[in-house]
Structure 1
Amino acid sequence: MRARTRAYSAERRTVYLLAAVNLVALGSLTAPVVAAIPLKIDALLPEEHRASALATVLTLGGLAALLANPLFGALSDRTRSRWGKRRPWMLGGTLAGLVGVAALAVADSLPAIIVSWLCTQTAYNAVLASAAALLADIVPDSRRAAASGVFTAAAFVGTLPPLVLAALLPRHVDLVTFAMPLVALIVVGFALSIRESTSHAHARAPKSPATSRRGIRIASFSSAFAAVWLQRLAMQSAFSLATAFTIYLIIDRMTKDPVDATPIAMIATLAGGSGIVIGAAVGGAWASRVRRYLPFLVCGALGLAAGAATRAFADAPIILWIATTIGGLAVGAYLTVNLALAMRVIPGSRAGTYLGVLNVAETIPQVLAPMVAAALLRVGQGDPVSGANDNYLVLYGTAAAVALLSLATLPVLRRASAARVPIEDESGRGSPEHLPADR
């Protein structure tokens, strides 16, 4: 019993360390996006070229992230070193990311900004890919939802310190940009103490129904993983559309003034982000306790659709804040369970590759959603609620419809989540009992 308690304590420490790595890696990418890159472009280029230049830099950075995450996930699967498979990429990505941030700080031309930002994005995505794969390696299936909740919540918390520092120190943005990368060195230094052992997690990993009948692992890009990937793509697309152009919605429907709209938008962002963190942490712990995934996926899709539909008719700040809170809670719970389910159906020896590919489903909407949202705003004869030229009803209604469309994957996901997982007895071995399947 004492040995089991020590093992659980070590596992919790590992989860918190990996969540901290996730936090500092994403935090290191936040300050350049919100402050450093826009200000550098503003100082270098005339006003009429700023928007297009910034869009170019951020789009190329998004494409770098799109490619880097699955690439470094696959490389970590194949790495054999005295440091293990994942830790070399965590450390190397952190060091390279710091170099990229330093290069960005001294960049004095648009090409230099682009190159340094591509290097920074690539480096920290190597960290993110290896940390997610290590989480899948170590945590057993019965506790992956709770671990995924902590891991997912940390990602959104990581964006807050750079935002606060940028607001408090607007004249020292370059120093703010270095804050999280330096903290990342310390956090990753502690994370190097994690033992890379896969036997504990995968010894208790469930088999799919197909595996149980045929004695083989799920094939690459199986129907189960494809369904998980497509649902994440649909939900992330809906979320990106639902959060697009919030500031313009506030101006057109509520304040008619950009200055007065800013605090309303900040509160909406805080409400949505807090909802994601709470939804991820609470939803992950709850899903691990009840050992059912599908109800959380359904509630996530319905909650995001409800939040987007509420936003479509929002004409007062309180309605907008309620909508963003509902959507945040739903997305947090959904992302957590989606990640846990993905770790259940992928081959254990290729966790880095598959989780990197899963991340592509989250990155694609971030790159394309602004353009799609801008096109949707032009559909019809303007906004029926405010009379403005931009049709917010169509934009957020489409987001709600896409969220509901994600439910089309449930028949396949139901079979995958119905895998029978042995419950551990007090000795740490599997007991004859089995977890209830999702109905």
Structure 2
Amino acid sequence: MSRSAAAAALAEPSAPVGRAWTASLSLANGAVWVGWYGPIQILLALQAAELAPAGVSKESVLAWVTGLGATVSMLANPLFGALSDRTTSRFGRRTPWIVTGVAGGAGALVLLAGARTVPVMAAGWCLVQLTLNAAFAALTAALPDRVPHRQRGAVGGWLGAAQILGVVAGTGLATVAGGVAAGYAACAAFTVLGTLPYVLLHRDLVLPAERRPELSWRAVLGGFWISPRRHPDLGWAWLTRFLINLGNAIALLYLLYYLRDVLRRPDPDGGVLVLTAVNGVTLLGTVVVGGIWSDRAGRRKPFVLVAGVIMTVATGLLAVWQTWVGALCAAALLGVGFGVFTSVDLALMTDVLPAAAHRGKDLGVINIANSLPQVAAPALAAPIVHHLGGYRVLYGVAAAIGLVGALLVRRIRGVA
């Protein structure tokens, strides 16, 4: 029994996953994004404007809070991925971390709602990032655990669709809930409810104790370094993801302030919701199709390259066409590009993983390419907006960074 269980937990999956499994995993994934993006899109910006001390701009407060949270995310994701790799619970390797992370994240969102000072706000957001990353690391590892290579583009597409729907749902809940506290409570409730079907209806793979990787801080922390010399494809794939996400993070960080201060929208909160919805519609039109097309073509790199170029054009529009119509067009194009990128890039990443025994940790290291841009973006964006040319320069820099990332995907050799 132990031998067959180990084979199931550590072997390369070959049996296709069903629609119910894919749907419940996608819903759980989207629920975590609700917990993140209700605050990121709306609630943190409103709190920053309310709590900023005299003489400190709301942009700076938001930059520091999101930057600290992203730092926690960057460290937490690979850590919890490594711990889930070593978990031998009878409930499986991943499920205990999903349950614990979501419960903790919901509680942290409720605590964040009561923040009355910037330090408390920052601490609350860091706790949200810590706990939800425990769940997200485990959910992400389910893809290479259970999905065969030939199906990963399609499943990655559905996960990408859930991601953007989570962003839209989080933004919508934060906007219509009726205040900051109610917005946080609504996001917390959705995060819990959305993960229940996956946890309750699908049994996780169990790792026997005798096959567990070494459980020590030296082994766990030492495993975070994946040599780009030994695994160059993983290194180039990581850098591609990092740069494209950095360009995207810079473009989105000050969207609320861009609508309020540059376009002079009378309802900037509602404007963010409209742009997010437009982006979501076009993304949903490409995210699943792009993943399925990539599976059938047996190729990943051309899709990532084209998607990155489209996203570059979208971000460039925000620099040169600073009108509401320009913002709508940019949101639509960004959705088209990011839809293809999200599904195919996730499949590409799982195709270059070094070892089955460390999938959670390796994907956690890869996910640093998602969270590190959230640290770097505020550090780059704030001085550009205030001292180096404003929003035109900001979006021009974002477009250039994303284009470089798209071009670097051609350096990957082991994936078509």
What percent of counterpart residues are identical? Answer: 29
What is the correspondence of 1:272-351 to structure 2 with a 5 Å cutoff? Answer: 272-346=279-353, 347-351=355-359
The equivalent residue for 2:211 is none
- Spell out, residue by residue over 1:230-272, the C-alpha distance to the aligned partner (whole angstroms, 9 max, x if none): 000111122223445456666787x5x3427776555433323
Listed as ranges, the matches of 1:31-430 within 5 Å are 31-34=38-41, 36-37=43-44, 46-49=53-56, 51=58, 52-171=60-179, 173-192=180-199, 193-197=201-205, 221=228, 222-243=231-252, 245-246=254-255, 255=263, 257-259=264-266, 266-346=273-353, 347-377=355-385, 390=390, 392=392, 394-413=393-412, 415-417=413-415
AA aligned to 1:228 is A
- Give the number of the structure with larger relative contact order, counting CA–CA contacts within 8 Å between residues 6 or more apart: 2
SS in 2 for 1:81: coil
| Distance change in 2, residues 1:351/1:32 (3 Å) | same
- Does the Cα contact within 8 Å between 1:98 and 1:181 map onto a contact in 2? yes
State which structure, 1 or 2, has the greater radius of gyration over its C-alpha atoms. Answer: 1
The 3-state SS of whatever aligns with 2:203 is: coil
Distance 1:181 1:376, change over 3 A: closer
Counterpart of 1:14? 21
AA at the equivalent of 1:275: T
92-101 or 229-238, larger mean C-alpha shift? 92-101
**SS state of the match for residue 82, structure 1?**
coil
Equivalenced residue count is 379
CA-to-aligned-CA distance 1:92-144 (integer Å, 9 cap, x gap): 11121222223334445544433333222111111111000012200100000
Note closer, same or farther for the CA distance 1:235–1:53 as it changes in structure 2 (3 Å cut): closer
Shift of 1:220: 5.6
2:219 corresponding residue in structure 1:
none
AA partner of residue 14 (structure 1): W
Alpha-carbon spacing, 1:318–1:98, altered in 2? closer, same or farther (3 Å) = closer
Distance in 2, matches of 1:166 and 1:294, equals: 36
Structure 1 contact 18–135 (Cα < 8 Å) conserved: no
8 Å CA contact retained: 1:379, 1:391: no
The alignment's TM-score, normalised by the length of structure 1, stands at 0.76
Aligned-pair distance for 1:170? Answer: 2.3
Deviations 1:379-399 (A, max 9, x none): 87x5xxxxxxx361x433333
1:337/1:244 CA distance change after superposition, 3 Å = same
Whole-Å separation in 1 of the counterparts to 2:77 and 2:95:
15
CA distance 1:43–1:262, shift in 2 (3 Å): closer
Question: Can you give the 5+ residue segments of structure 2 that lack an aligned partner in the other structure?
Answer: 1-14, 208-225
SS of the equivalent of 1:158 reads: helix
Q: Which amino acid aligns with 1:416?
A: G
Q: Which AA in structure 2 matches 1:233? A: F
Contact 2:172 2:273 in 1 (8 A): no
Deviation at 1:325, TM superposition (A): 1.5
Distance in 2 of aligned mates of 1:298 and 1:83: 40
Distance 2:46 2:261 in 1: 27
Range that drifts further, 81-90 or 289-298: 289-298
